[in-house]
């Protein structure tokens, strides 16, 4: 047998093996690529679904984003074990209208925001204060005066319960104008901070009709009491204020049209 014939015979033997081997490797690579591709596609779909669900949840609560926003301030985690029993806080609670020249800490602000609207059951999204049908119609704002909070510039902030953070909305000390809108109640001007609670009635009336209006008013009462007890337990003083000019507060704070202010709450360390 010549060398040429030998090579031809080996060629006959190896060709099918070569085809099978190469085909197998090619298919393996394709399958591997397809797997990766499938995983990437699934991951992307999961991300899109998560993003859509988050926006839907926020949309459900009709969260209107303010037009001007300057960034976010992450709040420290709230303490869930305090120094005062709930009984003692109820006994001691009083409306306080005179404040020491002492700033609040970021931890004080964190506790107050959490007591008002913090998420206490993340699995179900339930909050510190009860809400008819968990419709959560209330928005919480913080008006910070000059040197009102250590580590926070003066201005208006909106509390974001989902991230437990403040969103900076307006710059500057708004307390004097807020006090004017509150029939010149001096404690609004003097307090280092004022909490403003506004309601989006449609979130609740959308489910309960006219009756939803009374539910919203009951809810703001719950939030007010949570704040009173939390403030007392931390040695802070506050007073809920219902007497103010709605339109003036709404335009001063540039609240979206559907948000109606219900309470202004000056808070500070009591003047001893
Ligand atoms: C709905 C509501 C509106 C209020 N509005 C004002 C107000 O505009 N200005 C004020 O100084 N106090 C206001 N208060 C506080 C009451 O005057 C105070 O709760 C009352 O005098 C009893 O005192 P106490 O809270 O220390 O028990 C209001 C309280 C409630 C419940």
pLDDT at 173: 98
User: d(Cα 167, Cα 91) in Å, to the nearest integer?
Assistant: 34
Nearest to 255 by CA among 140, 108, 165: 140
pLDDT at 104: 98
Mutate to test the pocket of ligand 1, among 240, 244, 261 (most ligand atoms within 8 A of CB): 240
Q: What is the Cα 15 distance to its own chain's centre?
A: 67
Mutate to test the pocket of ligand 1, among 185, 191, 241 (most ligand atoms within 8 A of CB): 241
CA 62, 65, 66, 67: dihedral to nearest 10 degrees?
-120
Tokens 């949840």 belong to which residue? 57
Nearest to 227 by CA among 204, 255, 193: 193
pLDDT at 67: 42
What is the atom index within ligand 1 of the atom nearest the CA of 187?
Answer: 11
Q: Residue 39 contacts by C-beta under 8 Å, 6 or more apart in sequence?
A: none
Q: Residue 88 contacts by C-beta under 8 Å, 6 or more apart in sequence?
A: 233
Please report the sign of the dihedral spanned by the C-alpha atoms of residue 109, residue 110, residue 112, residue 116: positive
* One pLDDT digit (tens) per residue for the chain, 272 residues: 455 554 555 555 455 555 555 565 566 556 657 777 777 778 777 776 666 555 555 544 444 444 446 799 999 999 999 999 999 999 999 999 999 999 999 999 999 999 999 999 999 999 999 999 999 999 999 999 999 999 999 999 999 999 999 999 999 999 999 999 999 999 999 999 999 999 999 999 999 999 999 999 999 999 999 999 999 999 999 999 999 999 999 999 999 999 999 999 999 999 98
What is the atom index within ligand 1 of the atom nearest the CA of 96?
Answer: 26
pTM summary value = 0.79
Going from the Cα of 95 to the center of ligand 1, the distance in angstroms, rounded, reads: 7
pLDDT at 35: 76
Going from the Cα of 243 to the center of ligand 1, the distance in angstroms, rounded, reads: 9
């Amino acid at each position: 047998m010549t060398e040429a014939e030998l090579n031809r015979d080996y060629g006959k033997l190896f060709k099918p093996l070569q085809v099978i081997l190469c085909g197998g490797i090619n298919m393996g690579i394709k399958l591997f690529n397809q797997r990766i591709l499938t995983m990437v596609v699934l991951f992307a779909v999961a991300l899109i679904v998560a993003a859509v669900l988050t926006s839907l949840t926020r949309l459900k609560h009709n969260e209107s984003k303010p037009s001007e926003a300057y960034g976010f301030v992450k709040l420290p985690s709230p303490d869930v074990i305090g120094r005062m029993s709930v009984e003692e806080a109820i006994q001691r609670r009083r409306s306080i209208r005179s404040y020491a020249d002492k700033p609040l800490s970021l931890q004080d602000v964190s506790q107050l925001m959490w007591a008002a609207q913090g998420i206490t059951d993340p699995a179900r999204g339930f909050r510190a204060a009860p809400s008819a049908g968990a419709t959560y119609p209330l928005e919480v704002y913080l008006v910070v005066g000059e040197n009102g909070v250590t580590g926070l510039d003066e201005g208006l902030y909106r509390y974001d319960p989902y991230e437990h953070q403040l969103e900076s909305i307006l710059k500057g000390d708004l307390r004097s104008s807020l006090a004017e809108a509150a029939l010149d109640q001096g404690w609004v001007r003097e307090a280092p901070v004022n909490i403003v609670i506004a309601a989006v009635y449609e979130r609740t009336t959308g489910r309960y009709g006219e009756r939803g209006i009374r539910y919203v008013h009951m809810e703001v009462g719950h939030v007010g009491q949570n704040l009173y007890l939390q403030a007392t337990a931390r040695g802070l003083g506050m007073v809920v204020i219902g007497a103010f000019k709605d339109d003036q507060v709404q335009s001063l704070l540039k609240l979206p049209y559907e948000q109606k202010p219900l309470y202004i709450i000056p808070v500070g360390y009591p003047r001893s």
